Amino acid sequence: MTISVDIRTDRPRNTVLRRALFAGAVAAGVGCLVGPAVAEATRLLVLASAFEHRWPSFLVAVVLLAAAVRLLTDRPAVRRRVLAVCAAAVIGVVWFRMVAFPVVSPDWQETSRTAAPGGENRYLVVEEGSVMIDPLWRVSVVDGWGVTARQWPVGLFDGDTADRALMKVAWSGPDALAVTTGDGEVRTVRLDPGNGKPERELSVP
């Protein structure tokens, strides 16, 4: 008895999968390169969250590229070389994330989120991190909701000296913030009533 299997129906499916994987790898690679710049230019919260660091999109691009090459070519030599390069890249990214990243990145952690008074669709975000032994604070305002929400930077504070540390930040109105630093000075930052953009970004000398 002869058993025959028609594999022609699998070919279109495999072709679609190959193209999808390759397109995904290209998209992730482009995102790794230009995503942070686009996020900074637009201030969209969804982009800022996705592209705050480049290594996740780079890792996705490498994995998808390896899978695409595995399906695109039947040449063992090409497969081995590409997969070896991709494996080395993945190992490098994992090493960076586990060893180098905690040293060079503040590893921001959100510590408070306060809604604006008056029921505005706006809130104040305070994040804390550290580089080596110096504490850091990052203050921002998020205005809007969903995919159109924008995150505006208010200030970055370095606690290497007590005078420059962030002591308190609070709403002083629907469109204004009061920022208190370690030297006791209270700085007022006014926001655009329409989009929440601060009139200035604080830099404590």
Please give the structure tokens belonging to residue 158. 């370095």
Q: Let me know: does 204 contact 198? Beta carbons within 8 Å.
A: no
Rounded Cα–Cα distance for residues 37 and 70 (Å): 32
Please give the structure tokens belonging to residue 40. 């900074």
| Domain segments of the chain as ranges | 10-104, 109-203
DSSP run (H or E) holding 177? strand 176-181
Rounded Cα–Cα distance for residues 166 and 135 (Å): 10
Please give the structure tokens belonging to residue 11. 């070919």
Helices (H) and strands (E) in the chain, counts: 5, 8
Q: What is the pLDDT along the chain (205 residues), one digit of tens a residue?
A: 555 444 455 556 677 887 888 888 889 888 888 989 999 999 999 999 888 888 888 889 999 888 888 887 778 888 888 889 989 989 988 888 888 777 777 888 999 999 999 877 899 999 999 877 789 999 999 999 999 999 999 999 988 788 889 999 999 999 999 999 988 899 999 999 999 999 999 876 5
Q: Let me know: does 60 contact 29? Beta carbons within 8 Å.
A: no
CB under 8 Å to 97, separation ≥6 — which residues?
Answer: 55
Please give the structure tokens belonging to residue 111. 């510590």
